Amino acid sequence: MKNKFSIWQLTPPQILVIGFGLIILIGSCLLSLPLASAAGESIGFLDAFFTSVSATCVTGLVVVDTGSAFTVFGQVVIAVLIQIGGLGFMTMATIFAFAIRKKITLRERLLLQEAFNQGSMEGIVRLIRKVILYSLTIEAIGALFFTVRWSFDLGFPKALYFGIWHAVSMFNNAGFDLFGTVDAPFVSFTGYVNDVVVNVVAVALITLGGIGFIVISDLIDYRDKRKLSLHTKVVLSMSAVLLVVGTLVIFIFEFTNTHTLGSMNFGGKVLSAFFQSAATRTAGPNTVDIGSLRQATQFVMIVLMFIGASPGSTAGGIKTTTFAILLSAVVTMIRGKEDIVIFRYRLAQDRILKAITLSMLALFLVIAVTMILTATEDAQFLKILFEVTSAFGTVGLSTGITPDLSIVGKVMICLTMFAGRLGMITLAYALQPKRDKELFRYPEGKITIG
């Protein structure tokens, strides 16, 4: 007689997929309530579902304006979903376990290891404690700066609410904002395009959320260890290169575009280009109209969104470390070397294969969804590709076509956001049947390449 199904028969990737799915479903039900709608009537389950997926997957793509379409109740629900989605539901469950002094079991440690993409369970609970501490501290500091700045414009009570809400959104790289109104929806941070304080604080939160908790912990411990891990070195170097390259490209391509940077002074152009480059790293807010950017700029942003931020963070994309491995593999092949070496460390074969697999799965997903949406949506190809890549990278930047998507389009974007947040390999492991150990190996063959 077969044993009855039990949740303990599920693998860690399967539990993560189900867990995120349940959170999204609960969020959808709450956001579809009339209590959550500023109009006093439900926004409809599909739009509520889309918003819940976008918040839980810390993306920021929206079909209704967050600031004007939702009540305070709805906005708080979205903020909670962003926090749970950014830190991960297993982290939130661990916080609850800490609160009631419950011991973290081996099964739960395995789930945490999978959620944070760690190679082993060693020190995983200690890492979670640091994640909680660092997140709350950084968000509190960001909220303080935002509150002080916006108190001059909004008054202290509203500035405090906006400060906390946007600090959570920016640190978790969600891209949601509350600045839209009934008369001017979807404005994001465009009203603060030349505001140094808002721009710098937002970029700082985005960057800290995007480099990952492992890197933050490594940097804080540097004073004692006097040494950075290979992971931290790769993340910091690639993040800096991509941020600078993105800033330069946006600055050069949009320098004379009167619809974006053209009408600003030199300092404003640099600040705007810098902010938008940081935002493409899976963050989502914008200080200029994305739909008015030149196509060359939009295409470069697509590439940056596809790469995304770093592992173990609140962000999406194929990740900076994956991109670094791919670049190193190309350089190694061109130079005729055998080993891929980064910062004087040789990379293991399984890391290289995982990077290639992740990149190819991500590329196939973006291509497939883009092809489907070109058949179902009445929009330009580049705008559709931009939207799909933004969804996969959990970025949230939009050329403006999201609210006008068809039912099929909204569902496909939801699936893309879900896959982008969980990770393609985690999703693949969750969907595949139980793996059996191979009992034999096939003979080696050779294929001509190039």
Whether 314 maps to a domain, the answer reads yes
Q: How far apart are CA 411 and CA 372, in angstroms?
A: 11
Task: Determine the residue type at 100.
Answer: I
Prediction pTM value? 0.88
The residue count of the chain comes to 450
Domain span holding position 77: 10-428
Tell me, what's the pLDDT at 339?
86
Q: Taking 50 as the threshold, does the pLDDT of residue 1 lie above it?
A: no
Average pLDDT over every residue of 245-268: 93
Nearest to 279 by CA among 269, 291, 290, 268: 290
CB 434 within 8 Å of CB 14: no
Residue 447 lies in a domain: no
Residue 342: phi and psi, rounded to 5, are: -130, 125
Proportion of the chain above pLDDT 90, given as a percent: 55
**Per-residue pLDDT at 21 exceeds 70:** yes
Average pLDDT of every residue of the chain: 86
* Assigned domain for 261 exists: yes
Provide the number of structural domains found in the chain: 1
User: What does the alpha-carbon distance between residue 245 and residue 347 come to, in Å, rounded to a whole number?
Assistant: 26
Asked if the structure places residue 99 within a domain, the reply is yes
Give the angle 5-108-207 at the CA atoms, nearest 5°: 125
Let me know if residue 438 belongs to a domain: no
For residue 270, the model assigns a pLDDT of 95
Q: Residue 75's pLDDT band (boundaries 50, 70, 90)?
A: very high
Mean pLDDT score, 24-37: 95
Lookup: tokens for 327: 């670049």
Residue 367 is predicted with a pLDDT of 96
Cβ neighbors of 434 (< 8 A, separation 6 or more) are: none
Give whole-number Cα distances, 43 to 36, 40, 68, 359, 391, in Å.
9, 9, 12, 36, 22
**Structural domain contains residue 131:** yes
Q: Which residue has the higher pLDDT, 129 or 41?
A: 41
- Compute the C-alpha angle 192/194/195, nearest 5°: 60
Helix axes 156-171, 72-87, angle to 10 degrees: 30
If you average pLDDT over residues 357-365, what whole number do you get? 91
For the ranges 177-191, 322-336, 418-432, which has the lowest average pLDDT?
418-432
Q: At what angle do helices 72-87 and 12-31 cross, to 10 degrees?
A: 170
pLDDT tier for residue 122 given thresholds of 50, 70 and 90: low
Chain-centre distance of CA 345, in angstroms?
Answer: 28
